[in-house]
């Protein structure tokens, strides 16, 4: 039997993730049935679940992919830039409506919570490291502990995600992000 190349496996995995992202965006987690995933991805359930253990693993892989991308931006440009990117290009984050599903499952599903915690830790670590660097450089407020700044920014991120997911974006959100950014800067 011929061996499948690593490039082919990576391309297939990417195809599955792209299709799953569209399906979760359109139908939400519960509505993204295996049948709908098959239709959107264009592959059989056997082909899909050869790469991912189950629907949860597929969903968590999407979350991890997005968390890694956001962590890269957060590490270099800050979490507010992540939010600006979401606002500027909501189509790239169109599956964020499922974030509400994540919040529900974090409360009710210990196994899911453990998997999510591992995957979201990278974004948290990148954001915290950047905040610490910016604080050490004198650019951020020093009257507020760094973990409180992180909690504040996480809360704003969650609110922005809820707004984008519900379709309530407008020009004022950019000004709100300006306000958020100004609120964490050191006052001269």
Closest CA to 22 of 38, 45, 8, 46: 38
Provide DSSP, 20-50: HHHHHHHHHHHH--HHHHHHHHTS-HHHHHH
Closest CA to 148 of 163, 133, 127: 127
Q: How much is the pTM?
A: 0.75
Along the 188 residues of the chain, how does pLDDT read in single tens digits? 557 788 888 899 999 999 998 898 888 888 999 999 999 999 999 999 999 999 988 988 887 787 777 778 888 888 899 889 888 887 776 666 666 777 777 888 888 788 777 767 777 888 888 899 999 999 999 999 999 999 999 899 888 887 877 777 776 888 999 999 999 998 87
Q: Residue 67 class from Cβ within 10 Å (0-12 exposed, 13-18 middle, 19+ buried)?
A: buried
pLDDT in the model for residue 17: 93
pLDDT in the model for residue 61: 85
Handedness of CA 148, 135, 128, 99 (dihedral sign): positive
pLDDT in the model for residue 96: 65
pLDDT in the model for residue 67: 73
Measured at the alpha carbon of residue 73, what is the angle toward residues 116 and 101, in degrees to the nearest 5? 30
Provide the token pair at 37. 């995933």
pLDDT in the model for residue 70: 78
Per DSSP, the three-state class of 167 is coil
Q: Are 116 and 63 in contact (CB under 8 A)?
A: yes
């Amino acid at each position: 039997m011929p061996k499948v190349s690593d490039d082919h496996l990576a391309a297939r995995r990417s195809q599955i993730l792209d299709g799953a992202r569209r399906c979760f965006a359109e139908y939400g987690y519960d509505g993204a049935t295996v049948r709908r995933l098959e239709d959107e991805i264009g592959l059989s359930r056997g082909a899909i679940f050869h790469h991912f253990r189950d629907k949860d693993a597929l969903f968590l892989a999407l979350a991890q992919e997005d968390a890694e991308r956001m962590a890269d931006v957060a590490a270099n440009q800050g979490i507010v830039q992540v939010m600006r990117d979401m606002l500027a290009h909501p189509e790239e984050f169109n599956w964020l409506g499922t974030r509400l599903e994540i919040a529900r499952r974090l409360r009710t599903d210990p196994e899911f919570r453990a998997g999510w915690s591992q995957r979201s830790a990278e974004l948290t670590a990148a954001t915290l490291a950047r905040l610490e660097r910016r604080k050490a450089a004198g650019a951020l407020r020093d009257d507020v502990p760094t973990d409180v700044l992180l909690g504040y920014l996480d809360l704003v991120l969650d609110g922005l995600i809820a707004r984008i997911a519900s379709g309530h974006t407008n020009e004022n959100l950019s000004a709100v992000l300006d306000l958020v950014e100004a609120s964490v800067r050191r006052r001269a």
